[in-house]
Structure 1
Amino acid sequence: MAWHDVSDGGPLLIRESPLESARFGCAVQRLTVPTGSGSGYSISAVREAVAGSPGDVIVLRYPAEHVGWFAELTTLGRTAVLADCLVYWRLRVGEGRTPEPSRDLRTTTSVAPTAVRELVSDIFASYGNHYMANPLFEAAKALAGYREWALRSATEGRCLALRSRSEREGEGEPRLLALATLEDTVDGSPTEILLAGVVSGAQGRGLYAHLLKAVEDRTRARGGKEVVISTQGHNTRVQRAWARYGFEPVQALLTVHLIRSRLLRGPER
């Protein structure tokens, strides 16, 4: 979901999530309450949408300012699991506090599928994402989903990586040090960083700022005006890096998994 979504106040619609359903072996649906001054949704609209859902798990996201909604969600006949608080940050292109250029780094948009999978597996192996709150979802399958997500971005040309000119790996190839996958359009919407990180063996060397600069440069070249990025609220380390670079916090969304309670019961004796 893009952070800047707005709505005309029509009915909330639950979307099927076939990839997640296949991955986790249960019927997963998504329900996102749009944000913005024009949305005007209440908990009653959520209640109505949930009541008609046949899904096993509904991944619900809504603006965090609705602090009273979670108590209401516990009365909908499902088990409500508070999964995360997703925080969004924004950078106005041209305002980034860019690092000094490095002769050892090169930005590339061509990353082999095998390399994408390896990078994501390394960078996000221990990332505390919202799937981890749900006992029905296995951590290994969630990580596989991140790999698939990144691979789709790479095959569509929406991927940036940093290579080292001096460090080499298998068969003399320059070593890949960092990866960012993106979502952007040509209609003036912000470029959204979907996944971004530095490989574990290269962290602490200031490379993340170079990765953000590569995204900002790409956005500028495409005529974009803003870059947005999000993470779970607990991930304060990366949020400090965003603040140092020039990003500012703009929005928070709560994620709640609404689970059919019978799925959480142990086998009957």
Structure 2
Amino acid sequence: MDLQLSPLDQQRFGPVTAKATLADSDSAAAVQAWCRAQAVQLLIARLPTSAIALTQALEAGGARLADTLVYYTRKALAASAPDLPAGYRWRLATAADADAVAALAGLTFAGYAGHYHADARLDRAAADAVYADWAANSCRSAAVADAVILLEAADGIAAFATLKDRGQHVFEGVLFGVHPQHQGRGLYHCLMQLSQHWAAAGGFTQMLVSTQVTNLSVQKVWCRLGFEPSASYYTFHQWFD
């Protein structure tokens, strides 16, 4: 069990917040008792969907489902760089791109159906800002992302992908965004291929991606690119009033 306070979430939203990554064998009662002892107001807990008994215990203790994540894995990377549509080029971001990438993330993730947005007690503008801050910090800090791929057009950054080393030659495509004015041109598909191209050159052998179970459009892209379902997780929110 990984359970700790989250000062960043408290700064963003106000209430004292704890985050937990749970396994089948963990105790919902122990988690909730720890939260009460630490004067936690909001618990955000993630656990495998296979942990049915733990899921039911969390629900019985007052936790509410906020989202369901599905993970897909590709075990053989496509090393070749794709042919980009005319007028686009790609490069890796630097810290100087942070503000521009944050602005694009803020646009593409506005109202995104993540677990923060699913909680009616959390400010929606602050929930939108989570993704903008995450994207900006991905450009600034190797602790957040190992690379950020940009697709550029004449009018600026058209799309981005943030990539993170997960160890054992596996990397994750974490955040992807395509500007609304550049959608419908296959740029997301290009980002997926460019991510694999970057990773193969760095010695990675597998790619991991995740999304909400309801986001069928990107899952269809992943299946066409040779990805397979590999894991799924629930995210619960519990308020202690």
Superposed CA offset, 1:111-153 (max 9, x none): 5222111110121113111112212211110111111111111
What residue in structure 1 maps to residue 49 of structure 2?
64
After TM superposition, the score normalised by the length of structure 2 is 0.88
Answer with 93-102 or 53-62: which moved more.
93-102
Q: Say if 2:88 is the partner of 1:108.
A: no
What residue in structure 2 maps to residue 24 of structure 1?
13
What is the CA distance between 1:80 and its match in structure 2? 1.4
Q: Distance in 2 between matches of 1:194 and 1:28?
A: 23
What is the CA distance between 1:240 and its match in structure 2? 1.0
What residue in structure 1 maps to residue 235 of structure 2?
255
Change (3 A) 1:50 1:97: farther
3-state SS, counterpart of residue 14 of structure 1: strand
Percent identity between the aligned chains? 30
* 4+ aligned runs moved over 6 Å, structure 1: none
Q: Distance in 2 between matches of 1:238 and 1:74?
A: 30
Change (3 A) 1:98 1:87: farther
What residue in structure 2 maps to residue 3 of structure 1?
none
Change (3 A) 1:13 1:94: closer
What residue in structure 1 maps to residue 127 of structure 2?
142
3-state SS, counterpart of residue 203 of structure 2: coil
Q: Distance in 2 between matches of 1:97 and 1:90?
A: 18
Equivalent of 1:215 in 175, 192, 195: 195
Equivalent of 2:170 in 173, 190, 193: 190
After TM superposition, the score normalised by the length of structure 1 is 0.80
Within a 5 Å distance, the mapping from 1:112-127 to structure 2 comes to 112-127=97-112
Equivalent of 1:160 in 145, 149, 173: 149
What residue in structure 2 maps to residue 245 of structure 1?
225
Letter in 1 for 2:73: R
Q: Is the 8 A contact 2:81 2:197 kept in 1?
A: no
Q: Distance in 1 between matches of 2:108 and 2:226?
A: 23
What residue in structure 1 maps to residue 34 of structure 2?
52
Q: Is the 8 A contact 2:79 2:201 kept in 1?
A: no
Letter in 2 for 1:92: K
What is the CA distance between 1:91 and its match in structure 2? 1.4
Q: Distance in 2 between matches of 1:189 and 1:225?
A: 6
What residue in structure 2 maps to residue 94 of structure 1?
77
Q: Is the 8 A contact 1:24 1:138 kept in 2?
A: yes
Q: Is the 8 A contact 2:80 2:197 kept in 1?
A: no
What residue in structure 2 maps to residue 267 of structure 1?
none
Change (3 A) 1:28 1:126: same
What is the CA distance between 1:100 and its match in structure 2? 4.3
Change (3 A) 1:96 1:232: farther
Equivalent of 1:181 in 132, 144, 162: 162
CA RMSD, aligned part only?
2.0
What is the CA distance between 1:234 and its match in structure 2? 0.9
Unaligned runs of 5+ in 2: none
Superposed CA offset, 1:157-194 (max 9, x none): 52111112xxx22xxxxx21111112116x53411111
What is the CA distance between 1:66 and its match in structure 2? 2.0
3-state SS, counterpart of residue 223 of structure 1: coil
3-state SS, counterpart of residue 149 of structure 2: strand
Letter in 2 for 1:20: D
Q: Is the 8 A contact 1:24 1:136 kept in 2?
A: no
Unaligned runs of 5+ in 1: 1-11, 35-40, 170-174, 263-269
Letter in 1 for 2:128: L
What is the CA distance between 1:97 and its match in structure 2? 9.7
Equivalent of 2:58 in 73, 97, 100: 73
Structure of larger gyration radius: 1
